[in-house]
Each structure stands twice: as structure tokens, then as C-alpha cells.
């Protein structure tokens, strides 16, 4: 199969999947769809997929997950595929709780994880399928829809499982496919999009309504910025190719969850509609769509951290990581990057700690970069930050 044939096959598969996202079909229908359209796993960022693998324990019997899938870094993980109309989270009288069906799916997934924690069970599983299940391997459940779902509360509640467990909704999976297709086959769109990934922590005591980041080549067009408007509220602002402005306010995830979580912003076109999607710790919290915006912002573009072209000043925050990429990151690439942050950028490994390693930006501190900024945790900065031309590391200047 040549590249053009594969492009058509995946395009048709994504189109069919978009029709199923809002369909009231049994779980088996969706599993069969992916088994018959195995190339679609590429659009989710997985290079390989094995349906219905058997986890066999001599004492506990057999367990059969929906899929194991391989990311582009070679890591294998579990993937459970449920239904778009699965009810995820309910509000009880005292606290949020999982719906019984969703609780059952989560418990089932934990059973798979617990069985594979047994070295003898895991060794038999690996020999049978020729895979390697690394310690702390991820497990993802695709279920439900993002609309009316408190994504940040889902993050808090998944924390309680003490496992690398995540939830993706069906509409989020569709967005990931569309973004991957737009980046992989740019001939299908006039613009292939980008992803901005960062890990930050707002200062809860020094509250300044300034800028977290501002990215772009020109002051009046093709820019994207993130500003702090109040103690908890952030504003995402986009300027398009014609100078048209669009903004969206949202609660900063680190304030809503009570700890810093990876934030990823992806922008890409789908059928002449510009999509801007924000994910906090893998869960979609914002989905902006515009039929009149036309953005052309290939990455990396010049970036300012702690200030912007309007000289708004710093939002007062700690920055652990900032990365831009064209085209957009796939679902597995985003999970890989979140895993890196969890293991390397928190004061305690695993990403459940409330504090992160990074560079602190006070009201008068900023950094300008024409590449990917490099951060040395604990680095002390001078008032002004500029980027040296000979490499991608920042240097402090007084």
C-alpha cells in the first residue's frame, strides 16, 4: 500500500468514525470497527495494536482487555474502548462520584494492571505476544463525551487509583485523529497546525495579571498568548493571519486540581474550521472552533515567557517546561511527553506532588527565545532574559 492509498484509507476511516461518535451503538460495534480499521490506530499515534490479548493467571484465571497498543517510543499500554454515551461522572449529594458502569470499567482496568504486576503472569503475557510491558505502563479508557464533563474533577478522581490510568472521550479521540491527519498529510489542508506543551505553576501569593507566554513572529498577527487575568483565571488569545482576535477564559488547571498538571494547546484546521483544543493532564478542557480564523504559525516561532509584545509583565509563575511543535502531537506523543514530565519535572517522581522543578518568573523577569527554551531547575534569573544566538539555552543579563 502506497502513501496515497494509506492517506485515503485513514481519511475514510476518520470520516466513518466521526459518524459513530454520536451513535447509540453497543460496545462491540466500536471494538469491531477498530479491528476492521486497524490503520486508524496510527491516527491515534500508535504504531501497532493487538486486539483481545489474554492475560492468564494460574490462580485468578483469564482476563481479556480490548487492545494493547504500541506507542512510537516502543512502549506498550492497555487501551479499553467503551461507548460514546457512557456516563462518566455524576454529582452526588456530597461529592462527585463515578457512575456505576464507569466504576466497573475502571475496576476492570485495574484488574488488568494488577495481574500484569505479577512477574510470572507478565512474563507469560510478554512471551505470548512478543511485547514488553514496562513497569508503570499506561492504561487508557476511551469512553463518553467531553460535553458537560468536569475534566479537572476527573483528573482529581483518577489520582486516587495510584496507577498510570487515564480517560479519553470519544470526541477527544476524534480530535486527535483529525489533528494527526492534518499534520501527517498537509496536502489535505492549507495549514498543518501546531502543539504548545507546558508545565507551570501560578504563584498563589504573588498574584499578577500578566503573561505566561506569547508566541509569534509579528506583533499584530499570527500570535498565540496565555495571560493571567485573576487569581485563578487564564485567558488564551489568538491573533490570526489578518489580525482578527479571539480569546477564551478558563480556570487554570493547577488551581482547579490543586497541583500542577501538563497543559497542551493544539491548533489545527478541519474542513475549513480552525480547532483550538486545550488538554490538562490528557483531558480536554477547552474546544474552540472558528470558521473565520485563518492562522499560519509554524513552530518553532519566537517565544516570550513572562511577558508579551504589549509589555504586560509576568504572571508570576514557575515554569518547568515549554515546548512548541509543528505538526500537532499525536495522542501517544502527548502521553509520552506527559510521562516525561511526571518522571522528571516534579519534586517527587510520578507527578502527584503539588510542586514542580523549574524557573521562577517574578513580575520583572522574562525570557525571549527563537528556539526551544532550555530550563535548568533552580536557576536564578536576572531582571531581563534574552536568548543567545548560538544555542537554545537562555542566558541571564542584568
In the chain, what are the domain boundaries?
3-168, 194-397
Average the pLDDT over 342-351 and give the result. 72
Predicted TM-score (pTM) of the model is 0.69
Q: What is the model's pLDDT at position 218?
A: 85
Q: What is the model's pLDDT at position 390?
A: 38
Q: How confident is the model at residue 110 (pLDDT cuts 50, 70, 90)?
A: very high
Confidence check: pLDDT of 354 > 80: no
Average the pLDDT over 141-152 and give the result. 84
Q: How confident is the model at residue 185 (pLDDT cuts 50, 70, 90)?
A: low
Confidence check: pLDDT of 370 > 80: no
Residue 140 in grid coordinates: 487508557
- 124 in Cβ contact with 56 (< 8 Å): yes
Q: How far apart are CA 362 and CA 366, in angstroms?
A: 8
Q: What is the model's pLDDT at position 304?
A: 85
Confidence check: pLDDT of 392 > 50: no
Confidence check: pLDDT of 384 > 60: no
The residue that leads in pLDDT, 258 or 66, is: 66
Q: What is the model's pLDDT at position 56?
A: 92
pLDDT in tens, 58-104: 888 899 999 999 987 788 999 999 999 999 988 755 567 899 999 99
Q: What is the model's pLDDT at position 191?
A: 47
Quickly count helices (H) and strands (E) in the chain.
9, 23
Residue 314 in grid coordinates: 509576568
Q: What is the model's pLDDT at position 27?
A: 87
* Three-state secondary structure call for residue 393: coil
Average the pLDDT over 377-395 and give the result. 42
- 263 in Cβ contact with 278 (< 8 Å): yes
As a whole number of angstroms, the longest Cα–Cα distance in the chain is: 67
**Residue carrying C-alpha cell 508579551:** 308
Radius of gyration of the chain (CA): 21
CATH number assigned to the domain covering 194-397: 2.60.120
Q: What is the model's pLDDT at position 320?
A: 85
Average the pLDDT over 43-60 and give the result. 89
Average the pLDDT over 331-353 and give the result. 76
Average the pLDDT over 196-201 and give the result. 90
SS3 content of the chain, % helix, strand, coil (to 5): 25, 30, 40
Q: What is the model's pLDDT at position 159?
A: 80
Q: How confident is the model at residue 192 (pLDDT cuts 50, 70, 90)?
A: low
The residue that leads in pLDDT, 166 or 181, is: 166
Confidence check: pLDDT of 383 > 80: no
pLDDT in tens, 14-23: 888 888 887 7
- Would you tell me how many other CB atoms lie within 10 Å of the CB of residue 375? 19
Q: How confident is the model at residue 373 (pLDDT cuts 50, 70, 90)?
A: low
Q: How confident is the model at residue 237 (pLDDT cuts 50, 70, 90)?
A: very high
pLDDT in tens, 264-311: 998 887 767 788 888 888 888 888 888 888 888 888 788 888 888 777
Q: What is the model's pLDDT at position 396?
A: 35
Amino acid at each position: 500500500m502506497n502513501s496515497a492509498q494509506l492517506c485515503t484509507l485513514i481519511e475514510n476511516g476518520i470520516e466513518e468514525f466521526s459518524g459513530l461518535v454520536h451513535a447509540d451503538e453497543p460496545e462491540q460495534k466500536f471494538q469491531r470497527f477498530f479491528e476492521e480499521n486497524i490503520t486508524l490506530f496510527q491516527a491515534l499515534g500508535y504504531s501497532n495494536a493487538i486486539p483481545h490479548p489474554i492475560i492468564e493467571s494460574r490462580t485468578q484465571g483469564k482476563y481479556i482487555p480490548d487492545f494493547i497498543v504500541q506507542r512510537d517510543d516502543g512502549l506498550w499500554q492497555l487501551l479499553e474502548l467503551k461507548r460514546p454515551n457512557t456516563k462518566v461522572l455524576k454529582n452526588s449529594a456530597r461529592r462527585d462520584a463515578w457512575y456505576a458502569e464507569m466504576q466497573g470499567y475502571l475496576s476492570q482496568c485495574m484488574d488488568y494492571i494488577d495481574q500484569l504486576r505479577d512477574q510470572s503472569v507478565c512474563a507469560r503475557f510478554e512471551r505470548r505476544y512478543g511485547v514488553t510491558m514496562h513497569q508503570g505502563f499506561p492504561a487508557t479508557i476511551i469512553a463518553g463525551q467531553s460535553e458537560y464533563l468536569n475534566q479537572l474533577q476527573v483528573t482529581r478522581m483518577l489520582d486516587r487509583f495510584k496507577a498510570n490510568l487515564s480517560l479519553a472521550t470519544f470526541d477527544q479521540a476524534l480530535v486527535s485523529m483529525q489533528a494527526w491527519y492534518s499534520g501527517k498529510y498537509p496536502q489535505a489542508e492549507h495549514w498543518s497546525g501546531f502543539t504548545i506543551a507546558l508545565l507551570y505553576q501560578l504563584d498563589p501569593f504573588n498574584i499578577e495579571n500578566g503573561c505566561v507566554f506569547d508566541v509569534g513572529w509579528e506583533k499584530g498577527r499570527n500570535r498565540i498568548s496565555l495571560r493571567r487575568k485573576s487569581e485563578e483565571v487564564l485567558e488564551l488569545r489568538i491573533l490570526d493571519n489578518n489580525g482578527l482576535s479571539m480569546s477564551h477564559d478558563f480556570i487554570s488547571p493547577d488551581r482547579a486540581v490543586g497541583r500542577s498538571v501538563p497543559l497542551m494547546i493544539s491548533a489545527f484546521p478541519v474542513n475549513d474550521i480552525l480547532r483550538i483544543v486545550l488538554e490538562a493532564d490528557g483531558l480536554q478542557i477547552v474546544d474552540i472552533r472558528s470558521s473565520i480564523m485563518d492562522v499560519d504559525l509554524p513552530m518553532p516561532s519566537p517565544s516570550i515567557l513572562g511577558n508579551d509584545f504589549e509589555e504586560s509583565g509576568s504572571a508570576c509563575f514557575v515554569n518547568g517546561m515549554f515546548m512548541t511543535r509543528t505538526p500537532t502531537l499525536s495522542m501517544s506523543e502527548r502521553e509520552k511527553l506527559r510521562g516525561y514530565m511526571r518522571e522528571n519535572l516534579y519534586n517527587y517522581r510520578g507527578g502527584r506532588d503539588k510542586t514542580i522543578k523549574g524557573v521562577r518568573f517574578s513580575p520583572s523577569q522574562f525570557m525571549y527565545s527563537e528556539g526551544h527554551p532550555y530550563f535548568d531547575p533552580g536557576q536564578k534569573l536576572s531582571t531581563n532574559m534574552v536568548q543567545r544566538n548560538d544555542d537554545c539555552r537562555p542566558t541571564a543579563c542584568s
